[in-house]
Amino acid sequence: MRLSTYLQVLCVLIFTPSIVSANTIMIEDFEDSTFNFTVSDPMFHDGAGDYYTVTPLVFSGNPLGSQAEAVRPSYTGFGGIRFFAAEDVDDGGLRPDTRTMRFNVDISRYDTLKFSTLFAASGNAAATPAYDANDGFLIQASIDGGAFQKLLAFEASGTTNQLLRQDTNFDGVGDGFVPSAAFTSFSNLAISGTGKNLLLEIILTSNDGNTEFAFDDVSITGNVSAVPEPGAYGMMLLGLGLLGFAMRRKQA
């Protein structure tokens, strides 16, 4: 083997970066008061059937107390003891009926980005489905200020008092899976592209009673390539390789 070829092979073995898959870049499980998100309008609970909040909120210094405990009984399958829940978020016309939750995630070392969450809709269990055409739930992502990619959506299947269904083609009309009060996992939804910052938005609209939404375990994962760092061990291997090659040449 020629010296140049020998060195090329040895360098590939020493300097090739290792690939680590499915690293958790960000996860929001709503289990404590350290949140990874901001909201367009403050979380609230009116003490009755209107709320947009983590449930239950029981940590120290929480201004909402544990009022949202009332929304818990109908939901099952969430992670841990807390999740995010919403119903009739305009609070009788006193508040905005569309809310946006935003996550800013550093993705500068990652590629092959994927999104996962748990989702439930207790309003589908009502005797008369409660969702209207203006009620909906959308998750979308943008990298470094680029165009938003729609990742997951749920919309009413008709105009008034309809089932909430997954909107598989993002046309504003529910046409797919019917969520229930039992949380369902939506995992590894691909996010195209790479960059420095990922903006993840969860946009929710609800202005009628029983239009209930809930979600949990919002996460972003990705693959990261380790930076090649030969270190002392790698340089020792390179030195031994060169020494062995020199000895072979001398013997020849």
* 3-class secondary structure, 238: helix
What residue segments make up the domains of the chain, in order of their start?
A: 1-16+232-252, 24-227
Are 14 and 234 spatial neighbours (Cβ–Cβ below 8 Å)?
Answer: yes
The structure tokens 């092979």 sit at 9
The CATH superfamily of 24-227 is: Galactose-binding domain-like (2.60.120.260)
Cα atoms in the 13 Å half-sphere on the side-chain side of 180: 4
State which H helix or E strand residue 198 sits in.
strand 197-205
Residue 235 is predicted with a pLDDT of 54
Residues whose CB is less than 8 angstroms from the CB of residue 145 and which lie 6 or more positions away in sequence, other chains included: 199
State which H helix or E strand residue 112 sits in.
strand 111-120
Cα–Cα distances in angstroms (integers) from residue 92 to residues 66, 95, 164, in the given order: 21, 8, 21
Alpha helices in the chain (DSSP H): 3-15, 231-251
Contacts of the segment 223-227: beta carbons below 8 A, 24+ positions apart = 223/19, 223/20, 223/21, 223/22, 223/23, 223/110, 223/111, 223/112, 224/20, 224/23, 224/109, 224/110, 224/111, 225/17, 225/18, 225/19, 225/111, 226/17, 226/18, 226/19, 226/20, 227/17
Residue 108 is predicted with a pLDDT of 96
Give the burial class of 141: count Cβ atoms within 10 A of its Cβ; 0-12 exposed, 13-18 middle, 19 or more buried.
buried
Residue 67 is predicted with a pLDDT of 47
The structure tokens 């020998």 sit at 6
Residue 208 is predicted with a pLDDT of 87
Question: Each residue's pLDDT tens digit in the chain (252 positions)?
Answer: 554 544 454 454 445 554 455 799 999 999 988 899 999 999 888 777 788 988 875 444 445 444 444 555 588 999 998 899 999 999 889 999 999 999 999 999 999 999 999 999 999 987 888 999 999 999 999 999 999 999 999 999 999 999 999 999 999 999 999 999 999 999 999 999 999 999 999 999 999 888 999 999 999 999 985 555 555 545 555 555 555 555 555 555
Residue 47 is predicted with a pLDDT of 73
